[in-house]
Chains A and B, each alone.
Chain A
């Protein structure tokens, strides 16, 4: 212990001056914008802004779309993660790369791609519209699709990592006890990766909540149907800066809550 403190002190004292300066600048780079947001918040009229119909509609739509996107991601993403973690098949790595591509793809590109697929004259959009009567572009459903497209990869890779690090012999044990594969999945596998499921779902939801590029490209910007919080913030910045700040503050609070909720995962138990 004494040795540890001594070596730590030596590390501290020997840190180059330039490093400390640059690190400080780096930290300030993150802190100043947040500080600006907090200092410029019109606290007295904040509640008023919050109560305006436009803000409430954006908030309601954002919650609906992000929760729906997370639900879809859970239903489709968990099986996808399981497939990547447990099944070996040719082309797995290629398929895996394609499904997590939206994490690095500029969201606008994602939106364009969605339009080309599900748009009126898209790959399957025309068929969806004529035979099933489903119109995705510029509808709330479209906003949900756009958010799912961008956010689901976060769930997939988190759950896949959880499945890979899990001791699969628990599944073997369950099978020797007479559990079918389906029972094993529900009563052993999923409960054991519960922390990953929760973390993946929260990450996915936070990403969906903040989605901008794909949503505005694919679903447009119609108040009440496709105008989510980020879109409303961007729009309000010109017409009603105070509303933009209050909306931003709400999104910041949500992000902070997610970070605190997942701190054990990201920052270690300390």
Chain B
């Protein structure tokens, strides 16, 4: 089972323009900041947002192709969508909610209720069938929403921020739970989220979406090791630079340069971990190949570390211990020398 999607869609001024290929068994997370187009992507796949161009096929069957005038209506797509706030029907009982899709697809009330009961049992809520959704906890509502969708045996399962409506304290537990329920599902699974932790914990593959475009795609470790956007670099907490490399010397787009040990020539990304950035009161006289002067623009205590934002050519973030800050006598606005070893500059093609 595979999904092949080339999506062009508009919502007001916002334009979604992306490609996505998913195969059965893998769990893909689309990660992006709010407003990146994640929900629009799910709505487009579900047929709730008409495409202006592109083509969506699921297992070879065309779901939508505006150029050919094909558009399978939402209710006929073999797609299950778990909404961000679950959208359980408040006027129906939990059991009726799970049976809703089965009834809508023509199953009689008794077998539909029996089947719904089995699904409630599977998500551990067989005792809650008669309750109203409003009386459920967030985690229970999530499981009902999942059962309601899985009961229809969809070929493609879409999840919109499945953890967003849950308490932070219970998220880890429910993430494990959800992962377990998702593992038993045979079809194609796609999750969208703005929470990097959720994406990394759940997904086999990440797709980074920003302003309606895919910036990067790959396994969580690939993406975090080789960020290709400021968004991902900030998520991972590393310094990301872009520039032109020639024989190990990278001329940065934002001014300044870095020397690396090795790496490709041409248009490149360079990543420097803040932990590897050293600070000195006076110009150091040692081996680091990259030494330049900057000004401490900001100091933030984060856990047992101090993150120092330094402005200079280039600007960079350093992570040092509070003791080091005290010994340096470093304060906001002070001038310092910045040193980065060439071996700590990680270069890859842009």
A: which residues have CB within 8 A of B?
167, 169-170, 172-181, 183, 187-188, 191-192, 194
Contacts and interface: CB of A to CB of B under 8 A. Distances in A.
A85 to B, nearest CB: 18
B272 interface: no
A264 to B, nearest CB: 17
Given A167-B87, A176-B149, A181-B75, 12 more contacts: A170-B87, A172-B43, A172-B46, A173-B81, A174-B100, A174-B104, A176-B46, A176-B77, A177-B100, A178-B104, A179-B104, A191-B89
Given A173-B81, A175-B48, A176-B79, A183 B89 contact: no
A151 to B, nearest CB: 27
Nearest to A169: B87
B62 interface: no
Nearest 5 A-B pairs (CB), nearest first? A177-B101, A179-B104, A173-B87, A175-B74, A191-B91
B139 interface: no
A17 to B, nearest CB: 49
A177 B104 contact: yes
B198 to A, nearest CB: 22
A176 B48 contact: yes
Nearest to A177: B101
9 contacts: A173-B87, A176-B79, A177-B75, A177-B149, A178-B104, A188-B89, A191-B91, A192-B90, A192-B91
Interface string B71-104: 0011111011101000101110000000011001
Contacts of B76: 178
B145 to A, nearest CB: 9
Contact of A178 (B83, B89, B105): B105
A183 B73 CA distance: 14
Contacts of A192: 89-91
Contacts, number: 61
Main secondary structure of the interface of B (DSSP, over half): mixed
Contacts of B104: 174, 177-180, 183, 187
Contacts of B89: 170, 173-174, 188, 191-192
A167 B105 CA distance: 23
Contacts of A180: 75, 104
A175 B75 contact: yes
Interface string B89-123: 11100000000110011000000000000000000
B18 interface: no
A176 B81 contact: yes
B91 A177 contact: no
Nearest to A179: B104
B10 to A, nearest CB: 16
B152 interface: yes
A166 to B, nearest CB: 11
Interface of B: 43, 46, 48, 73-77, 79-81, 83, 87, 89-91, 100-101, 104-105, 148-149, 152
A174 B100 CA distance: 8
A178 B152 contact: yes
Contacts of B43: 172
A180 B105 CA distance: 9
B98 to A, nearest CB: 10
A4 B48 CA distance: 47
A176 B76 CA distance: 8
B161 to A, nearest CB: 13
A172 B100 contact: no
A167 B152 CA distance: 24
A191 B73 CA distance: 23
A108 to B, nearest CB: 42
A199 B310 CA distance: 64
A172 B91 CA distance: 16
A175 B149 CA distance: 12
Nearest to B91: A191
A168 to B, nearest CB: 10
A172 B48 contact: yes
A167 B84 CA distance: 14
Contacts of A191: 89, 91
Contacts of B149: 176-177
Interface centre among A175, A178, A179, A180 (most CB of B within 10 A): A178
Contacts of A188: 89
A187 B100 contact: yes
A178 B73 CA distance: 10
Among B76, B90, B100, B148, which residue has the most Cβ atoms of chain A within 10 A?
B100
Contacts of B100: 174, 177, 179, 187
Contacts of A181: 75
Contacts of A179: 75, 100-101, 104
Most chain B C-beta atoms within 10 Å of own C-beta, residue among A167, A172, A174, A177: A177
B291 to A, nearest CB: 56
A81 B73 CA distance: 25
